[in-house]
Amino acid sequence: MNDLINKKCVPCEGGVIPFDISEIHKYQKKVDGWNIVKNNKNIYFLEKNFEFKNFKKSQVFVNKVGKISEEEGHHPDIFFGWGYAKINITTHAIEGLCENDFILAAKIDKISNV
């Protein structure tokens, strides 16, 4: 089982150096199907698309993601509609990725496979 599932996100209020690309790729191997994307401000984030059979299943999934996010104190950007959800994760306080982002991704993967 993925060791990230058993970890808890730690509060990050800045002052931490975001992962470099080699560290990002090391952690990317621990989560399933998350893409590494860089936005127009050169900030890395994780992104994954999820597909569902209808709107209600998308909404149920998004509500579960919200619950996990609150429990972890780490909040992704969520986009959803009929039959889909897209999750973007980054640590805004450091403008990049850290272990918290991958912990949250692993926990989201766990609920998407239930």
How large a percentage of the chain has pLDDT more than 90?
78
Q: What is the pLDDT of residue 1?
A: 41
Q: Are strands 77-81 and 84-89 parallel, antiparallel or unpaired?
A: antiparallel
Pairwise CA distance, residues 4 & 31, whole Å: 9
Q: Residues 59, 80: contact at Cβ < 8 Å?
A: yes
Which DSSP string do the residues of 85-106 spell out, in sequence order? Answer: EEEEE-BTTTTB--HHHHHHHH
pTM to 2 decimals?
0.92
Summarize the confidence of residues 73-91 as an average pLDDT.
96
Which domains does the chain carry? 19-112 (3.30.1360.20)
